[in-house]
């Protein structure tokens, strides 16, 4: 049993009763269902702060139901959905609708984020107070960046007043322009327009300044450059309320891995250079980055077939997240509990939620992990409706084999 909150690794039985962890004492009565976990690791269920489930507006790529199924297969019991749907989640009514759709889908806990600005246009703040009251857990215009400093400052003040974090897609559109990969050797090799690293650092620097001024917790999404990581490290040392996340694809790949005109390697922000990827791994090791997130972004095969220049940005990641990030443990970069905190206690802290644990009385949101066996990614068998992954055919070690939500088995892949 891996308990990241307690910092313990033990071998024992665990009993569940009425949706809660009971501990190692057997429940009363004879009707006990036995789940054989021998040879596996039991851990609190995983949390992903950054997913796109596309409903409403793009059901061909993903629905809340298929996204939830993919999450359960990946070991996730809780996800935060981004508001860049069609229409966007920018009002209290849209937040309530997102919660209703999530409740209808069932399976896992799905928490909606609300927009920072009306229509995600970046020109006027949305009704953040009302959305927070309706159940939004964070605010972001993910997929686009609020360029106007005054608008972002007002949004941060409103979010801070509501006790919610701001998640920022930190990429200055005036610098990024029409780029599709990072500026560098790969951009030249592929003949594609590049995105300068300054597109990220300019916004990260601004966000750090505004976080210090407003007191709002700002969480930088999908970091991809060494320079931005240095800014984040210095800000955290100074006590600025700012955090950042690392995606599996930015940890595992760099621009040199792009094979050619394959849009399954096109994501926003783009893959960094080798030095950026290595800096991100170091940032996870030294604690600058304490959160993993997939940025699960489904797209149909027909859209991705348009190639690197014209296809939409984004790759899926829920069903490969464990295997890709656990490689950091295999390499010796971090230990098992540090890795697990990136998917459990780290995200919970950002959201202001209790730390997931295996302690008696904790909700029985659990995942059973096989961290020893190798498997080969086959996107044709994914629960997600989309197949846009750069990891198809890759051999990985580590995957979820069972997911339990509130004491009920949401997915069992042991057979």
Cα-to-chain-centroid distance, residue 17: 30
Which helix (H) or strand (E) segment holds residue 374: the answer is strand 366-376
128/144 Cα distance (integer angstroms): 18
Instruction: Determine if the peptide bond prior to 269 is cis (ω within 30°).
Output: yes
Classify the phi-psi angles of 42: left when phi > 0, otherwise alpha if psi is within -120 to 50, otherwise beta. beta
101/60 Cα distance (integer angstroms): 16
Strands 291-292 and 242-246: parallel
194/266 Cα distance (integer angstroms): 12
Query: Quick one: DSSP state of residue 251?
Result: H
Given a contact cutoff of 8 angstroms between Cβ atoms, the answer to whether 328 and 292 are in contact is: no
| Structure tokens belonging to residue 249 | 């694809």
48, 172, 295, 370: the active-site residue:
295
334/77 Cα distance (integer angstroms): 23
Given a contact cutoff of 8 angstroms between Cβ atoms, the answer to whether 374 and 322 are in contact is: no
Neighbours of 175 (CB within 10 A): 16
Neighbours of 28 (CB within 10 A): 8
286 is known as an active-site residue: no
215/103 Cα distance (integer angstroms): 33
Residue written as tokens 């003040």? 157
Indicate which residues carry an active-site annotation. 295
């Amino acid at each position: 049993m891996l308990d990241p909150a307690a910092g313990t690794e033990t071998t024992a039985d665990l009993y569940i009763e009425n949706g809660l962890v009971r501990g190692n004492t057997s429940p009363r009565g004879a009707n006990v269902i036995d789940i054989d976990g021998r040879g596996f690791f039991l851990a609190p269920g995983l949390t992903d702060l950054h997913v796109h489930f596309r409903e409403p507006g793009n059901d061909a790529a993903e629905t809340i139901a298929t996204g939830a199924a993919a999450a359960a297969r990946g070991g996730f019991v809780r996800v935060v959905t981004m508001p860049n749907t069609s229409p966007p989640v920018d009002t209290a009514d849209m937040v309530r609708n997102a919660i209703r759709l999530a409740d209808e889908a069932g399976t896992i806990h799905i928490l909606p984020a609300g927009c920072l600005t009306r229509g995600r246009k970046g020109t006027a703040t949305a009704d953040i107070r009302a959305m927070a009251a309706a159940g939004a857990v964070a605010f972001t215009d993910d997929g686009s960046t609020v360029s106007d400093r005054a608008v972002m400052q007002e949004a941060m003040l409103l979010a801070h007043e509501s006790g919610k974090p701001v998640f920022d897609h930190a990429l200055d559109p005036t610098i990024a322009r029409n780029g599709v990969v990072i500026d560098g050797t790969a951009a030249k090799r592929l003949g594609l327009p590049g995105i300068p690293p300054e597109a990220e650092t300019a916004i990260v620097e601004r966000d750090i300044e505004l976080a210090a001024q407003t007191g709002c917790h700002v969480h930088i999404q999908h970091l991809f450059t060494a320079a931005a990581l240095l800014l984040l490290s210095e800000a955290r040392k100074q006590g600025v309320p700012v955090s950042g996340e690392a995606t599996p694809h930015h940890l595992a790949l760099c621009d040199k891995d792009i094979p050619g005109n394959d849009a399954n390697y096109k994501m926003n922000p783009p893959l960094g250079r080798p030095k950026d990827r290595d800096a991100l791994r170091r940032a996870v090791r030294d604690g600058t980055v304490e959160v993993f997130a997939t940025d699960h972004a489904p797209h149909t095969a027909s859209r991705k077939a348009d190639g690197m220049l014209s296809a939409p940005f984004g790759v899926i990641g829920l069903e490969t997240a464990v295997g890709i990030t656990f490689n950091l443990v295999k390499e010796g970069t971090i230990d098992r509990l540090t890795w697990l905190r990136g998917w459990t206690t780290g995200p919970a802290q950002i959201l202001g939620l209790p730390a997931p644990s295996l302690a008696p009385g904790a909700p029985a949101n659990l995942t059973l992990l096989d961290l020893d066996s190798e498997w080969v990614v086959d996107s044709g068998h994914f629960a997600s409706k989309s197949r846009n992954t750069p990891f198809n055919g890759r051999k990985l070690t580590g995957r979820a084999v069972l997911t339990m939500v509130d004491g009920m088995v949401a997915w069992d892949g042991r057979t």
